[in-house]
Amino acid sequence: MPISRTIQNSGFTEIRAAISVAEHRSFRAAADALGMSPTALSSNVRALEDRLGIRLFNRTTRSVSLTSAGEEFIASVAPSLASIERAMEAAGSHGTRPSGTLRINSSVTGAHEILTPLILTYLQRYPAVQVEVTTESRLVDVVLDGCDAGIRLAESVPAEMVAVPLPFGLDFCVVGAPAYLADHPPPNSPLDLKDHRCVRSKAANGSIYHWEFENHGEALEIDVSGGLTLDEQSLMLKAAIAGMGLAYISRAIAAEAIAAGKLVTVLENYLPRQSRLCLYYPRNRNTSAALRALIELIRGGGG
Protein backbone atom coordinates (compact mmCIF):
# COMPACT_ATOMS: atom_id res chain seq x y z
CA MET A 1 0.00 0.00 0.00
CA PRO A 2 1.62 3.29 -1.03
CA ILE A 3 2.28 5.65 1.84
CA SER A 4 -0.10 8.59 1.87
CA ARG A 5 0.95 12.20 2.36
CA THR A 6 -1.34 12.38 5.37
CA ILE A 7 0.33 9.41 7.00
CA GLN A 8 3.77 10.86 6.31
CA ASN A 9 2.89 14.14 7.94
CA SER A 10 1.34 12.42 10.93
CA GLY A 11 4.59 10.86 12.17
CA PHE A 12 3.99 7.30 10.93
CA THR A 13 6.72 7.42 8.32
CA GLU A 14 9.20 5.40 10.37
CA ILE A 15 6.70 2.63 11.09
CA ARG A 16 5.54 2.52 7.45
CA ALA A 17 9.16 2.34 6.32
CA ALA A 18 9.80 -0.65 8.58
CA ILE A 19 6.63 -2.40 7.37
CA SER A 20 7.66 -1.87 3.75
CA VAL A 21 11.13 -3.33 4.37
CA ALA A 22 9.51 -6.33 6.07
CA GLU A 23 7.18 -6.81 3.07
CA HIS A 24 9.87 -6.50 0.40
CA ARG A 25 12.85 -7.97 2.32
CA SER A 26 14.87 -5.23 0.66
CA PHE A 27 15.63 -1.64 1.61
CA ARG A 28 15.91 -0.54 -2.02
CA ALA A 29 12.63 -2.19 -3.09
CA ALA A 30 10.90 -0.77 -0.03
CA ALA A 31 12.19 2.71 -0.81
CA ASP A 32 10.96 2.43 -4.41
CA ALA A 33 7.52 1.30 -3.22
CA LEU A 34 7.21 4.28 -0.87
CA GLY A 35 8.71 6.82 -3.25
CA MET A 36 11.60 7.54 -0.89
CA SER A 37 15.34 7.47 -1.34
CA PRO A 38 17.11 4.42 0.13
CA THR A 39 19.06 6.76 2.41
CA ALA A 40 15.91 8.38 3.79
CA LEU A 41 14.27 5.01 4.31
CA SER A 42 17.31 3.62 6.15
CA SER A 43 17.38 6.70 8.35
CA ASN A 44 13.74 6.23 9.26
CA VAL A 45 14.24 2.57 10.13
CA ARG A 46 17.30 3.37 12.26
CA ALA A 47 15.41 6.14 14.06
CA LEU A 48 12.58 3.72 14.84
CA GLU A 49 15.01 1.09 16.12
CA ASP A 50 16.68 3.71 18.33
CA ARG A 51 13.33 4.81 19.70
CA LEU A 52 12.26 1.24 20.44
CA GLY A 53 15.66 0.20 21.75
CA ILE A 54 15.63 -3.00 19.65
CA ARG A 55 17.00 -4.18 16.31
CA LEU A 56 14.19 -4.90 13.86
CA PHE A 57 16.24 -6.32 11.00
CA ASN A 58 19.28 -8.48 10.43
CA ARG A 59 21.16 -6.91 7.53
CA THR A 60 23.86 -8.33 5.31
CA THR A 61 25.15 -7.13 1.94
CA ARG A 62 22.88 -9.67 0.25
CA SER A 63 19.80 -10.06 2.41
CA VAL A 64 17.47 -8.49 4.94
CA SER A 65 15.47 -10.48 7.47
CA LEU A 66 13.39 -9.68 10.52
CA THR A 67 14.70 -10.37 13.98
CA SER A 68 12.35 -12.18 16.34
CA ALA A 69 11.58 -8.85 18.01
CA GLY A 70 11.03 -7.32 14.59
CA GLU A 71 8.59 -10.05 13.58
CA GLU A 72 6.57 -9.49 16.74
CA PHE A 73 6.54 -5.72 16.28
CA ILE A 74 5.56 -5.78 12.59
CA ALA A 75 2.84 -8.36 13.21
CA SER A 76 1.37 -6.07 15.86
CA VAL A 77 1.51 -2.72 14.10
CA ALA A 78 0.94 -3.58 10.42
CA PRO A 79 -2.83 -4.35 10.68
CA SER A 80 -3.42 -1.27 12.82
CA LEU A 81 -1.56 1.05 10.45
CA ALA A 82 -3.41 -0.41 7.46
CA SER A 83 -6.73 0.29 9.22
CA ILE A 84 -5.67 3.86 9.98
CA GLU A 85 -4.64 4.45 6.35
CA ARG A 86 -7.95 3.08 5.07
CA ALA A 87 -9.90 5.22 7.54
CA MET A 88 -8.00 8.36 6.56
CA GLU A 89 -8.45 7.63 2.84
CA ALA A 90 -12.18 7.04 3.39
CA ALA A 91 -12.52 10.23 5.40
CA GLY A 92 -10.72 12.22 2.74
CA SER A 93 -12.96 10.84 0.00
CA HIS A 94 -16.19 11.99 1.63
CA GLY A 95 -15.85 15.41 0.05
CA THR A 96 -17.54 16.55 -3.11
CA ARG A 97 -14.65 15.59 -5.40
CA PRO A 98 -14.11 11.83 -5.86
CA SER A 99 -10.57 10.88 -4.84
CA GLY A 100 -8.64 8.23 -2.94
CA THR A 101 -8.89 4.48 -3.52
CA LEU A 102 -12.07 2.61 -4.47
CA ARG A 103 -11.84 -1.08 -3.61
CA ILE A 104 -14.19 -3.50 -5.37
CA ASN A 105 -14.44 -7.26 -4.92
CA SER A 106 -15.92 -9.18 -7.85
CA SER A 107 -16.36 -12.61 -9.29
CA VAL A 108 -13.82 -13.31 -12.04
CA THR A 109 -16.48 -13.27 -14.74
CA GLY A 110 -18.03 -10.11 -13.32
CA ALA A 111 -14.66 -8.36 -13.38
CA HIS A 112 -14.23 -9.16 -17.08
CA GLU A 113 -17.68 -7.72 -17.78
CA ILE A 114 -17.15 -4.41 -15.94
CA LEU A 115 -13.53 -3.69 -16.86
CA THR A 116 -13.97 -2.02 -20.24
CA PRO A 117 -17.49 -0.59 -20.32
CA LEU A 118 -17.58 0.66 -16.71
CA ILE A 119 -14.18 0.94 -15.02
CA LEU A 120 -12.46 2.44 -18.07
CA THR A 121 -15.08 5.19 -18.33
CA TYR A 122 -14.95 5.78 -14.58
CA LEU A 123 -11.16 6.23 -14.54
CA GLN A 124 -11.30 8.59 -17.49
CA ARG A 125 -13.96 10.68 -15.74
CA TYR A 126 -12.39 10.62 -12.26
CA PRO A 127 -8.58 10.52 -12.63
CA ALA A 128 -8.06 11.36 -8.94
CA VAL A 129 -9.48 7.95 -7.96
CA GLN A 130 -7.47 4.73 -7.91
CA VAL A 131 -9.59 1.62 -8.47
CA GLU A 132 -8.55 -1.73 -7.01
CA VAL A 133 -10.52 -4.74 -8.28
CA THR A 134 -9.91 -8.07 -6.53
CA THR A 135 -11.54 -11.30 -7.68
CA GLU A 136 -12.91 -14.21 -5.67
CA SER A 137 -14.90 -17.21 -6.78
CA ARG A 138 -16.63 -17.32 -3.41
CA LEU A 139 -18.92 -14.62 -2.09
CA VAL A 140 -16.94 -12.54 0.41
CA ASP A 141 -17.92 -10.11 3.15
CA VAL A 142 -16.88 -6.83 1.55
CA VAL A 143 -16.80 -5.10 4.95
CA LEU A 144 -14.46 -7.64 6.56
CA ASP A 145 -12.30 -7.69 3.41
CA GLY A 146 -11.85 -3.90 3.52
CA CYS A 147 -13.70 -3.29 0.25
CA ASP A 148 -16.07 -0.45 -0.58
CA ALA A 149 -18.36 -2.51 -2.80
CA GLY A 150 -18.82 -5.83 -4.56
CA ILE A 151 -19.95 -7.09 -7.98
CA ARG A 152 -22.08 -10.25 -8.08
CA LEU A 153 -25.15 -11.72 -9.75
CA ALA A 154 -28.33 -10.10 -8.46
CA GLU A 155 -29.51 -13.29 -6.75
CA SER A 156 -26.21 -13.58 -4.86
CA VAL A 157 -26.25 -10.11 -3.27
CA PRO A 158 -26.71 -10.37 0.52
CA ALA A 159 -30.08 -9.06 1.70
CA GLU A 160 -28.53 -6.50 4.05
CA MET A 161 -26.66 -4.78 1.20
CA VAL A 162 -27.80 -2.03 -1.14
CA ALA A 163 -27.90 -3.43 -4.69
CA VAL A 164 -27.47 -1.27 -7.80
CA PRO A 165 -28.30 -3.20 -11.02
CA LEU A 166 -25.72 -2.83 -13.77
CA PRO A 167 -26.91 -2.01 -17.31
CA PHE A 168 -25.45 -5.32 -18.50
CA GLY A 169 -25.06 -8.85 -17.17
CA LEU A 170 -23.16 -12.07 -17.55
CA ASP A 171 -23.44 -13.60 -21.00
CA PHE A 172 -22.14 -17.14 -21.46
CA CYS A 173 -21.32 -19.21 -24.51
CA VAL A 174 -20.26 -22.74 -25.39
CA VAL A 175 -17.01 -22.82 -27.32
CA GLY A 176 -14.64 -25.32 -28.88
CA ALA A 177 -11.44 -25.16 -30.89
CA PRO A 178 -11.77 -25.62 -34.67
CA ALA A 179 -9.48 -28.66 -34.48
CA TYR A 180 -11.69 -30.29 -31.82
CA LEU A 181 -14.86 -29.60 -33.80
CA ALA A 182 -13.25 -31.00 -36.95
CA ASP A 183 -13.00 -34.37 -35.18
CA HIS A 184 -16.28 -34.08 -33.27
CA PRO A 185 -19.44 -32.96 -35.11
CA PRO A 186 -20.80 -29.80 -33.44
CA PRO A 187 -23.79 -30.48 -31.17
CA ASN A 188 -27.17 -29.54 -32.60
CA SER A 189 -28.87 -29.46 -29.21
CA PRO A 190 -27.75 -29.56 -25.56
CA LEU A 191 -28.66 -33.26 -25.43
CA ASP A 192 -25.90 -33.94 -27.97
CA LEU A 193 -23.30 -32.93 -25.36
CA LYS A 194 -23.38 -36.52 -24.09
CA ASP A 195 -21.29 -37.39 -27.14
CA HIS A 196 -18.71 -34.69 -26.45
CA ARG A 197 -15.71 -34.22 -24.22
CA CYS A 198 -16.41 -31.17 -22.04
CA VAL A 199 -14.35 -29.07 -19.65
CA ARG A 200 -16.32 -29.22 -16.41
CA SER A 201 -16.58 -26.30 -14.01
CA LYS A 202 -16.24 -26.59 -10.24
CA ALA A 203 -17.95 -23.96 -8.09
CA ALA A 204 -16.46 -22.37 -4.97
CA ASN A 205 -18.56 -24.64 -2.74
CA GLY A 206 -17.12 -27.72 -4.42
CA SER A 207 -20.18 -28.59 -6.52
CA ILE A 208 -19.98 -29.24 -10.25
CA TYR A 209 -21.70 -26.59 -12.34
CA HIS A 210 -24.47 -27.88 -14.59
CA TRP A 211 -24.50 -26.11 -17.94
CA GLU A 212 -27.63 -23.97 -18.32
CA PHE A 213 -29.70 -23.77 -21.49
CA GLU A 214 -33.19 -22.77 -22.63
CA ASN A 215 -35.34 -24.71 -25.08
CA HIS A 216 -38.53 -22.92 -26.19
CA GLY A 217 -38.64 -21.02 -22.90
CA GLU A 218 -38.00 -24.12 -20.78
CA ALA A 219 -34.88 -24.17 -18.60
CA LEU A 220 -32.53 -27.10 -19.10
CA GLU A 221 -29.49 -28.05 -17.03
CA ILE A 222 -26.91 -30.54 -18.28
CA ASP A 223 -24.34 -32.29 -16.09
CA VAL A 224 -21.74 -32.71 -18.82
CA SER A 225 -19.02 -35.32 -18.79
CA GLY A 226 -15.31 -34.86 -19.36
CA GLY A 227 -11.93 -35.77 -18.01
CA LEU A 228 -10.95 -32.24 -16.96
CA THR A 229 -12.54 -30.15 -14.21
CA LEU A 230 -11.39 -26.58 -13.53
CA ASP A 231 -12.44 -23.82 -11.16
CA GLU A 232 -11.26 -20.73 -13.03
CA GLN A 233 -12.57 -19.27 -16.29
CA SER A 234 -9.24 -18.29 -17.83
CA LEU A 235 -8.02 -21.87 -17.39
CA MET A 236 -11.19 -23.15 -19.08
CA LEU A 237 -10.50 -20.75 -21.94
CA LYS A 238 -6.95 -22.06 -22.28
CA ALA A 239 -8.15 -25.67 -22.20
CA ALA A 240 -10.75 -25.01 -24.89
CA ILE A 241 -8.24 -23.29 -27.16
CA ALA A 242 -5.93 -26.27 -26.73
CA GLY A 243 -8.67 -28.57 -28.04
CA MET A 244 -9.33 -30.33 -24.72
CA GLY A 245 -13.07 -30.15 -25.24
CA LEU A 246 -16.06 -27.84 -25.23
CA ALA A 247 -16.25 -25.19 -22.51
CA TYR A 248 -19.09 -23.11 -21.07
CA ILE A 249 -17.53 -19.73 -20.29
CA SER A 250 -18.19 -16.02 -20.13
CA ARG A 251 -18.52 -14.45 -23.56
CA ALA A 252 -16.43 -11.49 -22.39
CA ILE A 253 -13.56 -13.84 -21.54
CA ALA A 254 -13.86 -15.78 -24.81
CA ALA A 255 -14.47 -12.79 -27.10
CA GLU A 256 -10.86 -12.22 -28.17
CA ALA A 257 -10.24 -15.90 -28.93
CA ILE A 258 -13.50 -16.10 -30.90
CA ALA A 259 -12.61 -13.02 -32.93
CA ALA A 260 -9.16 -14.50 -33.67
CA GLY A 261 -10.68 -17.77 -34.89
CA LYS A 262 -9.15 -19.78 -32.04
CA LEU A 263 -12.60 -20.75 -30.78
CA VAL A 264 -15.98 -21.38 -32.40
CA THR A 265 -19.33 -20.98 -30.62
CA VAL A 266 -21.97 -23.70 -30.66
CA LEU A 267 -25.54 -24.05 -29.35
CA GLU A 268 -26.13 -20.30 -29.65
CA ASN A 269 -29.91 -20.77 -29.99
CA TYR A 270 -30.09 -22.57 -26.66
CA LEU A 271 -28.22 -20.15 -24.43
CA PRO A 272 -30.22 -18.41 -21.68
CA ARG A 273 -30.68 -14.68 -21.35
CA GLN A 274 -28.03 -12.67 -19.57
CA SER A 275 -27.86 -12.96 -15.78
CA ARG A 276 -28.11 -9.50 -14.24
CA LEU A 277 -25.08 -8.21 -12.36
CA CYS A 278 -25.29 -5.78 -9.43
CA LEU A 279 -22.94 -3.48 -7.62
CA TYR A 280 -23.61 -3.77 -3.90
CA TYR A 281 -22.37 -1.96 -0.80
CA PRO A 282 -23.14 -1.78 2.94
CA ARG A 283 -26.45 -0.14 3.78
CA ASN A 284 -25.42 1.48 7.05
CA ARG A 285 -22.05 3.01 6.12
CA ASN A 286 -21.16 6.47 4.90
CA THR A 287 -20.73 6.29 1.15
CA SER A 288 -17.57 7.92 -0.17
CA ALA A 289 -17.63 10.43 -3.00
CA ALA A 290 -15.70 7.91 -5.12
CA LEU A 291 -18.36 5.22 -4.64
CA ARG A 292 -21.21 7.70 -5.11
CA ALA A 293 -19.67 8.71 -8.44
CA LEU A 294 -19.54 5.06 -9.58
CA ILE A 295 -23.17 4.54 -8.55
CA GLU A 296 -24.21 7.63 -10.52
CA LEU A 297 -22.28 6.38 -13.55
CA ILE A 298 -24.05 3.00 -13.38
CA ARG A 299 -27.49 4.55 -13.00
CA GLY A 300 -26.70 6.78 -15.97
CA GLY A 301 -26.10 3.74 -18.16
CA GLY A 302 -22.45 2.99 -17.44
CA GLY A 303 -20.96 5.74 -19.58
Q: Where are the domains of the chain?
A: 5-92, 100-169+276-299, 172-273
* β partners of residue 80: none
CA dihedral sign of residues 277, 282, 284, 286: negative
Domain 5-92 has CATH 3.40.50.2300: no
Tens-place pLDDT, residues 153-211: 888 898 999 999 998 888 899 999 999 999 999 999 999 999 999 999 998 778 999 99
Global confidence as pTM: 0.58
Superfamily of domain 100-169+276-299: Periplasmic binding protein-like II (3.40.190.10)
Superfamily of domain 172-273: Periplasmic binding protein-like II (3.40.190.10)
* CATH topology agreement for domains 100-169+276-299 and 172-273: yes
| 114, 166 Cβ separation under 8 angstroms | yes
Tens-place pLDDT, residues 60-116: 878 899 999 999 999 999 888 888 877 776 665 555 689 889 999 998 889 988 988
